[in-house]
Structures are given as structure tokens and as C-alpha cells.
Structure 1
């Protein structure tokens, strides 16, 4: 089942501004800065204990990330919960009546596997499951 907070993802207007804030206020330096053109965002990734914290900045206006920023402003996109058997959990959640995105877990741009429960199945909360570590 759930075994840790794998990562927390925030939507922000500027990853450069948040990277400066994190370093100046918490002495945290990014472990990665990336641009995922095909997915429409830039990211900055931090390691906080065993939890990853990433901040996404949209680079296109036609993404869910850009829509979220327009509608609600900066904030948490989702919390991903660590699991040990994401494939089995995906199938188990479907068998329990949950709607999940895709036909199975997918691989994140950082190399770990993820599965997303549709908010309509989880009291309008975006639950993401994650297995593995970043590459």
C-alpha cells in the first residue's frame, strides 16, 4: 500500500523565481532543472529528505498546468504517494471501481512509474501513485 510521500508537485509562474526563493530561504539547491517541450513545461526539482519536490512552469497555454495557473493561481498540483507494486495496485484500484488514467502506469520524465486516479473516483482529490526513484 502507500509507504511514503514520493513527491509533491507545484504549479508556479516562474521556476527561476522559486529556485531563488528555495535557495535564499531554505538553502536548498535544485538537483535538476529541465524543459519538457513535448509536455509543455519547465521544471525544477529538489530533494527534501526522501521526498522529491518539483515545481512546474508552463511553456504553452494549452496544457492542464497552464489552465490550473489561470484558474486557481500557483499551488499544489498533486501529491504522489509511494508504492511498491504500482502495476498490481493499478489493477486492484480498477477492480475496486476506480477510474484511472491510461491502460496502466506510465513512466514520468524523471524515470519513475506513475499512475493517476481520476478525481471523480477519489472525492475530487488528485491522487498520484509513484514507484521508483528519479534518474
Structure 2
């Protein structure tokens, strides 16, 4: 597995994207509205920052209320999301998603519960 992206919760994805483009020469390569959020991906040579701005009440809005802006999750790319979930189960990891679901860019995703992963929300992504 390799790091696919780092999810960053923000109140203003467009403004943060401009900042990151200027600072890191990381272009915006994908934008969509998905699951009550504006989602913006910036490319860092094949790994991404995923900027998550809530458009309505939901997971990211609640995260921002509790924690403020910042890193929300780390996503790992896998070629076999079902196998990755089975491995997590075999190791006693609590899953948020028992089965893969549709994520941004139409990819299959599944989240592991942070209480089992050192307080880090981990997402599996299968392209």
C-alpha cells in the first residue's frame, strides 16, 4: 500500500487550494460536490491533498465544530479493498465501513475506526 491522499477539513476549500498551489506548486486536478461536501484534490506527484469543505450539516461540519480545520484522515491506496478489510478484521481493527462504499472520483472506499489505529482515521481507497 501507499499513501493515496491526506484529507484536510477546511471552511474554505477554494482559498486553501490557492494557498497550497502557490506554496507547493500543487495544481488542482479534481473538484466535485460529494456527500454534502465540496471536495478539491491537489496533486503532489501522484499523492494528493483532499480538501473537504462542508456544504451542509454532516461529518465534516461536525468535525470542524469539534476540532477546527486540519488533517481529517490518511488514505491508503489498495488493489484489493475487500482483502484489506479482511486483514483489518483479522487483526481486531474496528471498522466504520464493513463493506466498501462509493467515494470521491467514484472510487471504492472504506474507513477504519481511529480507536483501533492510534487515533488516526484511516481510509482504504481502491481505484
Structure 1 length-normalised TM = 0.84
Pick from 57, 61, 66 the counterpart of residue 61 of structure 2.
Answer: 66
Q: State yes or no: 1:54 paired with 2:53.
A: no
Following superposition, which runs of at least 4 residues in structure 1 exceed 4 angstroms of deviation?
none
Residue 114 of structure 1: aligned partner = 109
| More off after superposition, 7-16 vs 78-87 | 78-87
The answer on whether the counterparts of 2:17 and 2:42 sit within 8 Å (CA) in structure 1 is: no
SS at the partner of 2:105? coil
Residue 36 of structure 2: aligned partner = 40
Q: 1:88 to 1:70 in 2, by over 3 A?
A: same
Pick from 21, 26, 29 the counterpart of residue 28 of structure 1.
Answer: 26
Pick from 70, 78, 84 the counterpart of residue 75 of structure 1.
Answer: 70
SS at the partner of 1:23? helix
- How many residues are treated as equivalent by the alignment? 127
Runs of 5+ consecutive residues of structure 2 not aligned to the other structure: none
1:33-66 CA-to-partner distances (Å, cap 9, x unmatched) read 2222xx1111111111120211011111x21211
SS at the partner of 1:43? strand
Alignment RMSD, CA only? Answer: 1.6
Runs of 5+ consecutive residues of structure 1 not aligned to the other structure: none
